[in-house]
Protein backbone atom coordinates (compact mmCIF):
# COMPACT_ATOMS: atom_id res chain seq x y z
CA UNK A 1 0.00 0.00 0.00
CA UNK A 2 1.39 3.45 -0.91
CA UNK A 3 2.05 6.15 1.68
CA UNK A 4 -0.90 8.14 0.35
CA UNK A 5 -3.29 5.23 0.74
CA UNK A 6 -2.01 4.55 4.29
CA UNK A 7 -2.64 8.20 5.11
CA UNK A 8 -6.24 8.09 3.89
CA UNK A 9 -6.85 4.74 5.56
CA UNK A 10 -5.74 6.24 8.89
CA UNK A 11 -8.01 9.24 8.41
CA UNK A 12 -10.90 7.00 7.46
CA UNK A 13 -10.54 5.03 10.67
CA UNK A 14 -11.01 8.25 12.63
CA UNK A 15 -13.83 9.56 10.46
CA UNK A 16 -16.09 6.53 10.46
CA UNK A 17 -16.91 6.36 14.17
CA UNK A 18 -19.99 4.32 14.99
CA UNK A 19 -22.60 6.67 16.44
CA UNK A 20 -25.50 4.21 16.55
CA UNK A 21 -27.40 4.78 19.77
CA UNK A 22 -28.38 1.11 20.02
CA UNK A 23 -25.74 -1.35 18.79
CA UNK A 24 -27.11 -4.55 17.30
CA UNK A 25 -26.12 -7.21 19.83
CA UNK A 26 -27.33 -10.09 17.68
CA UNK A 27 -24.17 -10.11 15.57
CA UNK A 28 -20.48 -10.41 16.35
CA UNK A 29 -19.07 -7.45 14.48
CA UNK A 30 -15.51 -8.43 15.39
CA UNK A 31 -15.65 -11.82 13.68
CA UNK A 32 -13.90 -11.96 10.32
CA UNK A 33 -13.89 -14.91 7.96
CA UNK A 34 -10.64 -16.20 6.52
CA UNK A 35 -11.74 -14.94 3.12
CA UNK A 36 -12.82 -11.47 4.29
CA UNK A 37 -12.19 -8.73 1.75
CA UNK A 38 -9.70 -5.95 2.61
CA UNK A 39 -11.26 -2.82 4.07
CA UNK A 40 -12.07 -0.29 1.35
CA UNK A 41 -13.45 3.15 2.15
CA UNK A 42 -14.91 6.00 0.15
CA UNK A 43 -13.27 8.61 2.39
CA UNK A 44 -11.23 10.42 -0.27
CA UNK A 45 -14.14 10.42 -2.75
CA UNK A 46 -16.55 11.78 -0.15
CA UNK A 47 -14.11 14.39 1.16
CA UNK A 48 -13.85 15.81 -2.35
CA UNK A 49 -17.60 15.57 -3.03
CA UNK A 50 -18.52 17.34 0.21
CA UNK A 51 -15.84 20.06 0.14
CA UNK A 52 -18.45 22.87 -0.08
CA UNK A 53 -21.12 21.00 1.88
CA UNK A 54 -21.99 19.59 5.27
CA UNK A 55 -22.37 16.02 4.08
CA UNK A 56 -23.15 12.58 5.43
CA UNK A 57 -22.74 9.08 4.00
CA UNK A 58 -23.86 5.87 5.68
CA UNK A 59 -23.38 2.33 4.40
CA UNK A 60 -25.00 -0.45 6.42
CA UNK A 61 -24.25 -4.14 5.83
CA UNK A 62 -27.61 -5.87 6.30
CA UNK A 63 -26.14 -9.38 6.24
CA UNK A 64 -23.58 -8.72 8.98
CA UNK A 65 -25.76 -6.17 10.79
CA UNK A 66 -23.12 -3.45 11.01
CA UNK A 67 -22.20 -0.07 9.62
CA UNK A 68 -19.20 -0.40 7.34
CA UNK A 69 -18.90 3.33 6.58
CA UNK A 70 -20.04 6.40 8.46
CA UNK A 71 -18.81 9.68 7.03
CA UNK A 72 -19.43 12.67 9.32
CA UNK A 73 -21.59 10.95 11.96
CA UNK A 74 -22.48 14.28 13.56
CA UNK A 75 -24.13 15.47 10.33
CA UNK A 76 -25.77 12.06 9.96
CA UNK A 77 -27.52 12.63 13.29
CA UNK A 78 -28.98 15.97 12.17
CA UNK A 79 -32.71 15.67 11.48
CA UNK A 80 -34.07 17.61 8.50
CA UNK A 81 -37.12 17.51 6.27
CA UNK A 82 -37.16 14.22 4.32
CA UNK A 83 -38.31 16.04 1.17
CA UNK A 84 -39.21 13.56 -1.58
CA UNK A 85 -37.73 10.57 0.26
CA UNK A 86 -41.05 10.80 2.15
CA UNK A 87 -42.62 9.24 -0.93
CA UNK A 88 -41.24 5.89 0.28
CA UNK A 89 -43.27 5.67 3.53
CA UNK A 90 -46.15 7.41 1.75
CA UNK A 91 -46.19 4.64 -0.86
CA UNK A 92 -46.44 2.05 1.92
CA UNK A 93 -49.36 4.00 3.40
CA UNK A 94 -51.06 4.30 0.02
CA UNK A 95 -50.79 0.62 -0.85
CA UNK A 96 -51.67 -0.54 2.67
CA UNK A 97 -54.79 1.65 2.88
CA UNK A 98 -56.07 0.88 -0.61
CA UNK A 99 -55.70 4.47 -1.84
CA UNK A 100 -53.21 2.89 -4.24
CA UNK A 101 -54.18 -0.51 -5.66
CA UNK A 102 -50.94 -1.30 -7.47
CA UNK A 103 -48.14 0.37 -9.43
CA UNK A 104 -50.60 1.25 -12.22
CA UNK A 105 -53.03 3.27 -10.06
CA UNK A 106 -53.65 6.43 -12.09
CA UNK A 107 -54.48 9.92 -10.85
CA UNK A 108 -55.61 12.55 -13.35
CA UNK A 109 -53.56 15.70 -13.85
CA UNK A 110 -55.62 18.84 -13.13
CA UNK A 111 -53.87 20.78 -15.93
CA UNK A 112 -52.13 23.11 -13.51
CA UNK A 113 -48.73 23.81 -15.09
CA UNK A 114 -45.57 22.86 -13.21
CA UNK A 115 -41.96 23.79 -13.95
CA UNK A 116 -41.03 20.10 -14.16
CA UNK A 117 -42.54 19.02 -17.48
CA UNK A 118 -42.94 15.36 -16.50
CA UNK A 119 -45.45 16.41 -13.84
CA UNK A 120 -47.81 17.87 -16.44
CA UNK A 121 -49.63 14.65 -17.30
CA UNK A 122 -51.65 11.86 -15.70
CA UNK A 123 -49.51 9.78 -13.34
CA UNK A 124 -49.41 6.21 -12.09
CA UNK A 125 -47.79 5.12 -8.83
CA UNK A 126 -44.77 4.00 -10.85
CA UNK A 127 -44.35 7.35 -12.65
CA UNK A 128 -45.04 9.21 -9.39
CA UNK A 129 -41.94 7.63 -7.87
CA UNK A 130 -39.88 7.86 -11.08
CA UNK A 131 -40.53 11.57 -11.68
CA UNK A 132 -40.99 12.47 -7.99
CA UNK A 133 -44.37 14.09 -8.64
CA UNK A 134 -45.42 16.29 -5.73
CA UNK A 135 -49.08 16.67 -6.69
CA UNK A 136 -49.56 12.88 -6.67
CA UNK A 137 -48.24 12.80 -3.09
CA UNK A 138 -50.73 15.51 -2.17
CA UNK A 139 -53.63 13.48 -3.55
CA UNK A 140 -52.57 10.56 -1.35
CA UNK A 141 -52.16 12.58 1.86
CA UNK A 142 -55.52 14.31 1.39
CA UNK A 143 -57.31 11.01 0.71
CA UNK A 144 -55.70 9.43 3.75
CA UNK A 145 -56.34 12.43 6.01
CA UNK A 146 -54.09 13.84 8.71
CA UNK A 147 -55.06 11.38 11.45
CA UNK A 148 -54.37 8.29 9.35
CA UNK A 149 -51.00 9.62 8.12
CA UNK A 150 -50.07 10.39 11.73
CA UNK A 151 -51.04 6.87 12.83
CA UNK A 152 -48.92 5.39 10.05
CA UNK A 153 -45.89 7.48 11.03
CA UNK A 154 -46.28 6.34 14.63
CA UNK A 155 -46.57 2.67 13.69
CA UNK A 156 -43.58 2.88 11.33
CA UNK A 157 -41.50 4.79 13.91
CA UNK A 158 -40.63 7.18 11.08
CA UNK A 159 -38.41 10.11 12.07
CA UNK A 160 -39.99 12.45 14.60
CA UNK A 161 -43.54 11.18 13.81
CA UNK A 162 -44.77 14.79 13.48
CA UNK A 163 -47.41 15.36 10.79
CA UNK A 164 -48.78 18.55 12.36
CA UNK A 165 -47.71 20.67 9.37
CA UNK A 166 -49.59 21.42 6.18
CA UNK A 167 -51.22 18.23 4.90
CA UNK A 168 -49.86 18.92 1.40
CA UNK A 169 -46.28 19.75 2.39
CA UNK A 170 -45.40 18.74 5.98
CA UNK A 171 -42.42 16.73 4.69
CA UNK A 172 -40.87 19.55 2.63
CA UNK A 173 -38.49 22.42 3.37
CA UNK A 174 -39.93 25.91 3.14
CA UNK A 175 -39.07 26.08 -0.54
CA UNK A 176 -39.51 29.29 -2.47
CA UNK A 177 -43.07 30.03 -1.32
CA UNK A 178 -43.85 30.48 2.42
CA UNK A 179 -46.22 27.88 3.80
CA UNK A 180 -47.40 27.78 7.41
CA UNK A 181 -45.88 24.89 9.41
CA UNK A 182 -44.66 23.30 6.24
CA UNK A 183 -41.77 21.14 7.41
CA UNK A 184 -42.98 19.43 10.58
CA UNK A 185 -41.73 15.96 9.56
CA UNK A 186 -38.03 15.54 10.39
CA UNK A 187 -35.70 12.56 10.03
CA UNK A 188 -31.95 11.91 10.23
CA UNK A 189 -29.79 9.59 8.16
CA UNK A 190 -29.61 6.84 10.81
CA UNK A 191 -33.40 6.82 11.03
CA UNK A 192 -33.61 6.56 7.24
CA UNK A 193 -31.37 3.47 7.40
CA UNK A 194 -33.54 1.91 10.11
CA UNK A 195 -36.70 2.50 8.09
CA UNK A 196 -35.24 1.03 4.87
CA UNK A 197 -33.91 -2.01 6.73
CA UNK A 198 -37.46 -2.79 7.88
CA UNK A 199 -39.02 -2.05 4.48
CA UNK A 200 -36.66 -4.37 2.59
CA UNK A 201 -37.02 -7.09 5.23
CA UNK A 202 -40.84 -6.74 5.12
CA UNK A 203 -40.91 -6.14 8.87
CA UNK A 204 -42.92 -2.91 8.89
CA UNK A 205 -46.35 -3.38 10.54
CA UNK A 206 -48.10 -2.74 7.23
CA UNK A 207 -49.13 -5.48 4.79
CA UNK A 208 -46.56 -7.57 2.96
CA UNK A 209 -48.19 -6.57 -0.33
CA UNK A 210 -47.81 -2.86 0.47
CA UNK A 211 -44.13 -3.31 1.21
CA UNK A 212 -43.53 -5.42 -1.91
CA UNK A 213 -45.24 -2.87 -4.17
CA UNK A 214 -43.26 -0.03 -2.61
CA UNK A 215 -40.01 -1.87 -3.24
CA UNK A 216 -41.14 -2.52 -6.81
CA UNK A 217 -41.65 1.15 -7.67
CA UNK A 218 -38.38 2.11 -5.95
CA UNK A 219 -36.30 -0.15 -8.20
CA UNK A 220 -33.86 1.78 -10.40
CA UNK A 221 -31.53 -0.59 -12.23
CA UNK A 222 -29.11 -3.48 -12.20
CA UNK A 223 -25.72 -1.78 -11.96
CA UNK A 224 -22.79 -2.62 -14.26
CA UNK A 225 -21.35 -4.74 -11.45
CA UNK A 226 -24.59 -6.70 -11.04
CA UNK A 227 -26.19 -5.04 -8.00
CA UNK A 228 -29.97 -4.59 -7.82
CA UNK A 229 -30.17 -0.89 -7.02
CA UNK A 230 -33.25 0.80 -5.55
CA UNK A 231 -33.59 4.30 -4.16
CA UNK A 232 -35.24 7.69 -3.89
CA UNK A 233 -33.98 11.25 -4.14
CA UNK A 234 -35.10 14.23 -2.09
CA UNK A 235 -34.46 17.94 -2.69
CA UNK A 236 -35.12 21.12 -0.74
CA UNK A 237 -33.72 24.52 0.19
CA UNK A 238 -32.40 25.93 3.46
CA UNK A 239 -30.89 29.15 4.76
CA UNK A 240 -32.41 32.56 5.43
CA UNK A 241 -32.68 33.23 1.70
CA UNK A 242 -33.60 29.65 0.81
CA UNK A 243 -30.60 29.53 -1.50
CA UNK A 244 -28.72 26.58 0.00
CA UNK A 245 -29.71 23.14 -1.16
CA UNK A 246 -30.69 20.20 0.99
CA UNK A 247 -30.14 16.87 -0.71
CA UNK A 248 -31.08 13.28 0.07
CA UNK A 249 -30.60 9.92 -1.58
CA UNK A 250 -31.68 6.75 0.22
CA UNK A 251 -30.87 3.40 -1.34
CA UNK A 252 -30.86 -0.37 -1.11
CA UNK A 253 -28.39 -2.68 -2.88
CA UNK A 254 -28.47 -6.45 -3.22
CA UNK A 255 -26.22 -8.90 -5.04
CA UNK A 256 -26.48 -12.57 -4.20
CA UNK A 257 -26.15 -12.86 -0.41
CA UNK A 258 -24.74 -9.34 -0.10
CA UNK A 259 -27.20 -6.65 0.97
CA UNK A 260 -26.70 -3.02 1.96
CA UNK A 261 -28.67 0.09 2.83
CA UNK A 262 -27.03 3.43 2.02
CA UNK A 263 -27.86 7.08 2.63
CA UNK A 264 -26.37 10.36 1.41
CA UNK A 265 -27.58 13.72 2.67
CA UNK A 266 -26.04 17.18 2.58
CA UNK A 267 -26.69 20.88 2.88
CA UNK A 268 -24.68 23.56 1.08
CA UNK A 269 -22.38 25.80 3.13
CA UNK A 270 -22.93 28.71 0.73
CA UNK A 271 -25.52 29.78 -1.84
CA UNK A 272 -25.96 27.20 -4.59
CA UNK A 273 -29.01 26.80 -6.79
CA UNK A 274 -27.55 24.63 -9.54
CA UNK A 275 -28.43 20.93 -9.70
CA UNK A 276 -31.28 19.68 -7.49
CA UNK A 277 -29.85 18.47 -4.19
CA UNK A 278 -31.38 15.02 -4.61
CA UNK A 279 -29.78 14.48 -8.00
CA UNK A 280 -26.38 15.49 -6.65
CA UNK A 281 -26.84 13.24 -3.61
CA UNK A 282 -27.50 10.30 -5.92
CA UNK A 283 -24.41 11.14 -8.00
CA UNK A 284 -22.28 11.35 -4.85
CA UNK A 285 -23.53 7.98 -3.65
CA UNK A 286 -22.78 6.32 -6.97
CA UNK A 287 -19.21 7.65 -6.87
CA UNK A 288 -18.81 6.45 -3.28
CA UNK A 289 -20.10 3.00 -4.23
CA UNK A 290 -17.78 2.87 -7.24
CA UNK A 291 -14.85 3.62 -4.92
CA UNK A 292 -15.78 0.45 -3.04
CA UNK A 293 -16.32 -1.62 -6.18
CA UNK A 294 -20.06 -1.77 -5.48
CA UNK A 295 -21.57 -0.28 -8.63
Return the number of other C-beta atoms located less than 10 Å from residue 198's C-beta. 18
Backbone angles phi, psi at 238, to 5 degrees: -130, 180
Q: What are phi and psi of 159, to 5 degrees?
A: 55, -130
- CA pair distance 250, 231, nearest whole angstrom: 5
Phi, psi (deg, nearest 5) at residue 157:
55, 50
Phi, psi of 185 (to 5 degrees): -75, 130
**CA distances in angstroms from 187 to 177, 229, 252, 284, 286, listed in the order given:** 22, 22, 18, 20, 22
- Segment 202-210 long-range contacts (CB within 8 Å, at least 24 positions apart): 204/92, 204/156, 205/155, 205/156, 206/92, 206/93, 206/95, 206/96, 206/152, 206/155, 206/156, 207/95, 207/96, 209/95, 210/91, 210/92, 210/93, 210/94, 210/95, 210/96
Active site residue ranges: 84
Amino acid sequence: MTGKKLFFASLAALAFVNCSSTPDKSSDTETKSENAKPIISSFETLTNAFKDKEGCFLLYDVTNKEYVEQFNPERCQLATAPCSTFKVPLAVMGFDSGVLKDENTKFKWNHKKHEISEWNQDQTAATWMKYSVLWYSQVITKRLGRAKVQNYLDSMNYGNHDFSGNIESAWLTNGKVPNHKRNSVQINAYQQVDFLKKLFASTLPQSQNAQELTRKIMYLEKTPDGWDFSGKTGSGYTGAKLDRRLGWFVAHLKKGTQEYVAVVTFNDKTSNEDLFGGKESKAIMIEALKARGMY
